[in-house]
Each structure stands twice: as C-alpha cells, then as structure tokens.
Amino acid sequence: MFTLTMHPASEGDCLQLSWGDTQRLHHAIVDLGRTKNYKALAPKLRGLSNVELLVISHIDADHIEGAVPMVREASAPFVPADVWYNAYHHLEAAEKRQASKLHALGAQQAEKLSNGIDKFCWSWNRAFGADGIASVDTPLDGPLLLEGGLKITLLSPGDAELAALKPVWARELAAAKLRPFDPDETKPDAPSGLHPLSTLNVAALAAQPFERDRTEPNGSSIAFLAEYCGRVVLLGADAFPDVIERSLCAIGYSQTKRLKVDLFKISHHGSQRNTSPALLKLLDCTRFAISTDGSRHDHPDAPAIARILINDTARPKKLYFNFDQPNTKAWQRPEIKQAYSYDCIFPGKNETGLTIEI
Ligand SMILES: [Zn+2]
C-alpha cells in the first residue's frame, strides 16, 4: 500500500504519505496547515506509530502554523524518526557554504518550532549528516531510504535558495509573527480582462507567458520524490519550478528522458508561477494533486491547470482536489473534460481530505 492523503489545510498543505503492508504501515507527515487544521487533525495524529519523517517544507503560515500548537502540547502527539525543517541557523550554515557576504539578522519568535523540536528531543535533519541542512547541495550517497522501504530523492531547496531566505526570515518574522501570507504574490490580469474561470479557454490560458515565483520562502521549500515498490510521487511543496528542473536534470532527466511520476502534488497549490511548461516537459505524468480551499489566493490558477492539460492532450489525465471550491469545480465542465481527456476527483460527501492510491 502506498497512499497520499491531502488533509484539509485551508489554503495550505497538510500531507500524509503512508506505505507498507496494512499490518505495518509507515507514515511521513509533510506540513501541518494552519492552527485550526492541526487542531481538527490532532486526534487522528495522536498516537500514530511508525512516523518515519515529519517535514515542515518552509516557513509560510499555511504550512507551519499548525506546528506551533503541536509543540505547545505537553507531550509530543507522535514521535517522528527524523524532522526535516530548515531553521535560521541552517540558513546561516547554507550561507556560509555559499561563501556569501549577507549580514546576519535575528528572529526570536521564529524559533518556536525549533524550540519545540528540542523540547521533544526529536532528531533533526539527521538524514543530512553533520551539517543537518535539508538541501540538495548536501552530499549524499544516492537517495535516502526510510524505514519500511520508502526511497526519497530531495529536489529542493539548494543552498542558494536557503541563503536567499535569511534576510527575509528576519524581516517577516521579527515582529513575533509567523509569515502570514504571500505578500509578494500579485496576479497578472488575464489578457482579455475576463476572469480566467469565465470562459476557460484552455489554449489561451496555457499560452499566457510563464512568469516564475520569486518569493524567497517558497524557494526554500523542501520538495522531494518518494518511491515505494516502483511507484513514484513528487511532492512539490511551494518550490520553484526551476529548482526542481535543475535537480531533475542533475540526476539525468531531460525532455527526451522524462521521469516517470505516478502522482505529482503540484507546487504552491496550483499557482501559475510554480507550474512551468519546462518542468511539465521533464515529467511523464498523468495524475496531478492540488491542495487548497481557494481562500486568500484563489488557487489553483487556471493557467497552471491549462498548462497541465495542454502538455499531454492525448492521454487520459486525473486532477485530484482536496476541496470542492469555485477554482476547482470550474474544471468539471463536461465539454472541457472531453476535449482535454481528463477527470476530476474530489473528496466524497461527508469526507474531509482526499486519500489517493499512488
Ligand atoms: Zn503554501
């Protein structure tokens, strides 16, 4: 068994990978959504055994906020064998490796999760050796192997992305707050001036020029491939597409030698700035998962979905959404589904979140 569950996490992510046989399942938790999401999920997580990994992909509130009530609890709800989270001191170490001359800045409150990891005595970035930085620039002998046979290949971030976050960390978090939202994200108007969902002209949407995400916290996202029994999932966090492209090319993939991926959890909730035509061309993939309730940023963006559909018009595709909301429901139109050969999958009635067989 190998599944990805996209728990309800408002506009963010709270993902659970489960692998193994049903007698002995292993789990990785990736992000904890917002506070209310974690509180709703906590009874399910409490006592969960065989948690081989907890990843906090980056410091945006829609990924990390839920970790704060968790570490305030008297005892840890579960005991992860390792935690991957790049905190301020890791950024400094990455910067040193970059031999950069940026100035050091402080950020006290951002250390809440760091303190919590210490309080629970969890092992931290252990997989990455002495430096303990979850970075693709950490020398590793091939993919990491987790208990139960899950193979992980890190694709993002690099030391450059971590070093670039350092000044932002202080700026965003110095006021004793977690980063509340993506302040840099503004959306270009659709060329026609029409709302992109009003017509869903897939060809026109896909043809909009790609402009990449440049927000430093997203660039610092921990994104990776996870493989079990020959099945592969790409968990994109909110990573930059060019960083993932760079990593895939570094391990030998190209447009003529594409990576077979059974499920791609799209980066940044389907933002049009994080799903590039170039990245899609490196992947042999027909199943795409998107985590967002559409609040705050109106994700997923129609041009991102259009690029996915245009990239592979011939084969049947599946779009998995953990919320039935205006920006996802719009893709249910039968004429578009038929024209571009895809289907949409939503949580069932009375279900929260979506579990997908990888
Ligand atoms: Zn996010």
* Predicted local distance difference test score (pLDDT) of residue 181: 44
Sign of CA dihedral 191, 197, 200, 205: positive
Q: What angle do CA 178, 181, 186 make, to 5 degrees?
A: 150
User: How many A from CA of 164 to the centre of ligand 1?
Assistant: 18
User: How many A from CA of 13 to the centre of ligand 1?
Assistant: 6
User: How many A from CA of 157 to the centre of ligand 1?
Assistant: 15
User: How many A from CA of 335 to the centre of ligand 1?
Assistant: 31
Is residue 226 within 8 Å of residue 30, measured between CB atoms? no
User: How many A from CA of 201 to the centre of ligand 1?
Assistant: 26
User: How many A from CA of 327 to the centre of ligand 1?
Assistant: 16
Distance CA 205, CA 191 (A): 9
237: number of CA atoms within 13 Å, CB side? 32
User: How many A from CA of 15 to the centre of ligand 1?
Assistant: 12
Distance CA 256, CA 62 (A): 36
- pLDDT mean across residues, the chain: 88
Q: What is the mean pLDDT of residues 215-232?
A: 96
* Predicted local distance difference test score (pLDDT) of residue 187: 55
User: How many A from CA of 41 to the centre of ligand 1?
Assistant: 18
User: How many A from CA of 141 to the centre of ligand 1?
Assistant: 30
Q: Three-state DSSP class for 228?
A: strand
User: How many A from CA of 37 to the centre of ligand 1?
Assistant: 14
pLDDT band at 140 (very low <50, low <70, confident <90, very high): confident
* Predicted local distance difference test score (pLDDT) of residue 209: 95
User: How many A from CA of 286 to the centre of ligand 1?
Assistant: 23
For 255, list phi and psi in degrees, rounded to 5: -65, -25
Position 37 pLDDT exceeds 80: yes
* Predicted local distance difference test score (pLDDT) of residue 98: 74
User: What digits encode the pLDDT tens for the residues 148-205?
Assistant: 999 999 999 999 999 998 888 777 665 545 544 444 455 555 555 456 676 789 999 9
User: How many A from CA of 32 to the centre of ligand 1?
Assistant: 11
Picking from 36, 107, 95, the residue whose alpha carbon sits closest to that of residue 70 is 36
* Predicted local distance difference test score (pLDDT) of residue 356: 98
Picking from 321, 262, 331, 337, the residue whose alpha carbon sits closest to that of residue 9 is 321
Structure tokens at 126: 């252990």
User: How many A from CA of 38 to the centre of ligand 1?
Assistant: 15
pLDDT band at 102 (very low <50, low <70, confident <90, very high): very low
User: What digits encode the pLDDT tens for the residues 239-259?
Assistant: 999 999 999 999 999 999 999
Is residue 218 within 8 Å of residue 227, measured between CB atoms? no
For 227, list phi and psi in degrees, rounded to 5: -125, 135
User: How many A from CA of 260 to the centre of ligand 1?
Assistant: 25
DSSP state of 109: G
User: How many A from CA of 338 to the centre of ligand 1?
Assistant: 31
Position 110 pLDDT exceeds 50: no
User: How many A from CA of 24 to the centre of ligand 1?
Assistant: 31
User: How many A from CA of 352 to the centre of ligand 1?
Assistant: 19
* Predicted local distance difference test score (pLDDT) of residue 195: 63
Domain that holds residue 311: 2-357
Q: Which helix (H) or strand (E) holds 175?
A: none
pLDDT band at 114 (very low <50, low <70, confident <90, very high): confident
User: How many A from CA of 58 to the centre of ligand 1?
Assistant: 9
* Predicted local distance difference test score (pLDDT) of residue 228: 98
Whichever domain contains 283, its CATH number is 3.60.15.10
User: How many A from CA of 358 to the centre of ligand 1?
Assistant: 22
* Predicted local distance difference test score (pLDDT) of residue 273: 97
Q: Which residue has the higher pLDDT, 4 or 188?
A: 4
Sign of CA dihedral 41, 332, 302, 310: positive
pLDDT band at 138 (very low <50, low <70, confident <90, very high): confident
User: How many A from CA of 21 to the centre of ligand 1?
Assistant: 31
User: How many A from CA of 22 to the centre of ligand 1?
Assistant: 31
User: How many A from CA of 116 to the centre of ligand 1?
Assistant: 22
* Predicted local distance difference test score (pLDDT) of residue 247: 96
Picking from 163, 142, 154, 156, the residue whose alpha carbon sits closest to that of residue 53 is 154
The total of structural domains in the chain comes to: 1
- pTM recorded for the entire structure: 0.92
User: How many A from CA of 14 to the centre of ligand 1?
Assistant: 10
**CA torsion 236→242→244→247, rounded to 10°?**
-170
